[in-house]
Structure 1
Amino acid sequence: MPTERVREDIRTFLTSRRARITPQQAGLPDFGGRRQVSGLRRSEVAQLAAISVEYYTRLERGNVGGVSEEILDALVGALHLDDVERAHLAALFRAANAPHRAAERDGGASHVRDSVQQVLDAMTGAVAFVRNAHLDVLATNRLARVLYEEALDTGEQPPNLARFVFLDPRARRFYRDWDGIAHDAVGSLRAESARTPGNTELADLVDDLATLSPEFAKGWDAHDVEYYRSGRQRFHHPAVGDLDLDYDALEIPADPGLTIVTYTLASTSPYAPAFRALRHHTATVTRP
């Protein structure tokens, strides 16, 4: 595992988190004068976490051997990290302390069991597909093939949603909140890179996207992390028009790294006619 890369990720993540917090937000007194850094100083983070400046400096340099849960929680409080960011920082600490250990799971898994495909096919009233942690789409039901027809229309197999978002101009029309889905895609890949730091396939994907998309590169450098779990996504389908659908991401315990993503329509949604039209289109679509 590239230990130096993990240490650099720890350094940039911690510095980016303290740069976004002002002393006022942290509840520290403002003595006026000109500050040389944006956000909090190292000494202020150390004060808030109740550790020495020397120790915090070591942590920020990636020297995190023997870090306890108490220290982790102290950093979480000092830097105002949310649950996703806490999990990300903990994953980085684990990776730095176990450079010899293989990745705990195969985030780039590519095999979908027949029984999982049958589950997808049984979901006739919902959009459903299986993706891995690299955002490759590995299996779909009929409604998913209709909704995502442009994203699946690619010469590369399996189709990758991050490549579609950042490299295909059709994505900016398809996702009505393109900025939001772009942020979530980068954050999801950033979180996965900490969980599987030795994953060369993921590293190659990130390098390609950063080279070909300035927006991806900017988002990657921001070190924001996201878990794609539930919410609402706003689409514009070329055949049926606008659709607002509720999504849920359901991990498959028997297949580490694989997730079933479903999109459903709220019972009172004004987009019911468009969703009915989408279902009518399924008769013309076959499984790839």
Structure 2
Amino acid sequence: MDNRAEVREFLMSRRAKVAPEAAGLPQGVSARRVAGLRRSEVAMLAGVSVEYYAKLERGAIAGASASVLDAVAIALRLDDAERAHLLDLARAADGIPSSGRARSRPARPSAPRMSLEWAMTAITDAVAVVRDPRQDLLAFNALGRAFYSPMIGDGGRTPNFARFQFLDPAARDFYPDWDLFADMCVSIMRAEAGRNPHDRGLQDLVGELSTRSEVFRTLWAAHNVRIHGAGTKRFNHPVVGEVVLSYEELAITAEPGNALLVYTAEPGSPSAERLRLLASWSVGTVSTAPVTEGGER
């Protein structure tokens, strides 16, 4: 993941998405040879020289000031996730760890911290799982184990949201809105690659999926980025059928980069009843044990 190439392709892809009229520019009568804005138009809107913006778009973003990057973000009409991604790319070019995260990650623990295990066990009416920046599913509560049983299976390699999404046919049934989930998954991974371009595990995962999935290759090339945060998702669980769940992503500050995902159903809704049914079905299953290579817990 060459940083200069990442910067170049990201800026070019964002420029191509901005229509001149959306940026307050006249379309003119002559045919445009490029989609979206010209480099000269971005430079004018950002208040920098054409030569300087062309330098940025060639990938030479190291040393760019925060004010210039902010002006470029405004000119390209970047949303919050895209703006953060641009800043992360600039930090990486300057050799600065992004988003306050350490450049090198510690080895994965053989078991979740006891306090985290207690906290997840205490969550009984919601799906709770822990994932890392590489989309690996590291731990789960009892309901999380039952909910993600199509992905976790009965052993094998560490469950991974991206591998399940693009390589497992069961994902098409589990995610009724598969196309939406696929785009979301890749956009989250692309943002993470900007934050930590030196993560070898993430590089290997991108290489594997690019080789084995044409859809992944296409989505990865789009350079879209996304912050997970919060929202609503629809699932089709093999045991209880369709459920609509709201999710919150909570950063685990003791394990930088890891996140606790909590899925809940609207009280009194059919989805809440089906989640309770799944909880009853899950009694006796393994709960918060960590998931490691080889399927050991």
The bucket for the TM-score relative to the shorter chain is over 0.9
Q: CA deviation at 1:20?
A: 0.6
Q: What is the identity, as a one-letter code, of the residue corresponding to 2:39?
A: R
Partner of 2:61: 64
Native 8 Å contact 1:107 1:132 kept in 2: no
Partner of 2:290: none
Native 8 Å contact 1:108 1:202 kept in 2: no
Q: What is the identity, as a one-letter code, of the residue corresponding to 2:73?
A: V
Structure 2 residue matching 1:271: 3-state secondary structure: helix
Task: List per-residue Cα deviations over 1:166-211 (Å, max 9, x = no partner).
Answer: 0001101101211121111101111111111111111000000011
Out of 27, 30, 35, the residue aligned to residue 27 of structure 2 is 30
Gap runs ≥5 in structure 1: none
Native 8 Å contact 2:125 2:276 kept in 1: no
Q: CA deviation at 1:273?
A: 2.5
Q: CA deviation at 1:99?
A: 8.0
Q: What is the identity, as a one-letter code, of the residue corresponding to 1:223?
A: H
1:190-269 equivalent positions in 2, closer than 5 A:
190-269=190-269
Question: Percent same amino acid among aligned pairs?
Answer: 45
Native 8 Å contact 2:127 2:264 kept in 1: yes
Q: What is the identity, as a one-letter code, of the residue corresponding to 2:63?
A: G
Structure 1 residue matching 2:138: 3-state secondary structure: strand
Pick closer, same or farther for the CA change 1:24–1:109 going to 2, 3 Å: farther
Structure 2 residue matching 1:210: 3-state secondary structure: helix
Structure 2 residue matching 1:273: 3-state secondary structure: helix
Structure 2 residue matching 1:144: 3-state secondary structure: helix
Count how many residue pairs are aligned between Structure 1 and Structure 2.
284
Partner of 1:277: 277
Q: What is the identity, as a one-letter code, of the residue corresponding to 1:253?
A: T
1:187 aligns with 2:184: no
Structure 2 residue matching 1:234: 3-state secondary structure: strand
Pick closer, same or farther for the CA change 1:266–1:159 going to 2, 3 Å: same
Native 8 Å contact 1:240 1:274 kept in 2: yes
Task: List per-residue Cα deviations over 1:18-43 (Å, max 9, x = no partner).
Answer: 00111111110121121111111101
Stretch of structure 1 that moved more, 267-276 or 46-55: 267-276
Q: CA deviation at 1:157?
A: 2.9
Task: List per-residue Cα deviations over 1:262-282 (Å, max 9, x = no partner).
Answer: 011111423233122111111
Q: CA deviation at 1:76?
A: 0.8
Out of 101, 107, 110, the residue aligned to residue 108 of structure 2 is 110
Q: CA deviation at 1:14?
A: 0.1
Native 8 Å contact 1:108 1:201 kept in 2: no
Partner of 1:165: 165
Q: What is the identity, as a one-letter code, of the residue corresponding to 1:8?
A: A
Native 8 Å contact 1:19 1:39 kept in 2: yes
Q: CA deviation at 1:228?
A: 1.1
Stretch of structure 1 that moved more, 193-202 or 155-164: 155-164
Structure 1 residue matching 2:21: 3-state secondary structure: helix
Q: What is the identity, as a one-letter code, of the residue corresponding to 2:40?
A: S
Q: CA deviation at 1:109?
A: 6.0
Partner of 2:46: 49
TM-score of the superposed pair, with normalisation by structure 1: 0.94
Gap runs ≥5 in structure 2: 288-296
Partner of 1:175: 175
TM-score of the superposed pair, with normalisation by structure 2: 0.91
| CA distance in 1 between partners of 2:210 and 2:278 (Å) | 34
- Bigger relative contact order, structure 1 or 2 (CA pairs below 8 A, ≥6 apart): 2
Q: CA deviation at 1:114?
A: 2.0
Q: What is the identity, as a one-letter code, of the residue corresponding to 2:239?
A: A
Native 8 Å contact 1:108 1:133 kept in 2: no
Pick closer, same or farther for the CA change 1:106–1:239 going to 2, 3 Å: farther
Partner of 1:153: 153
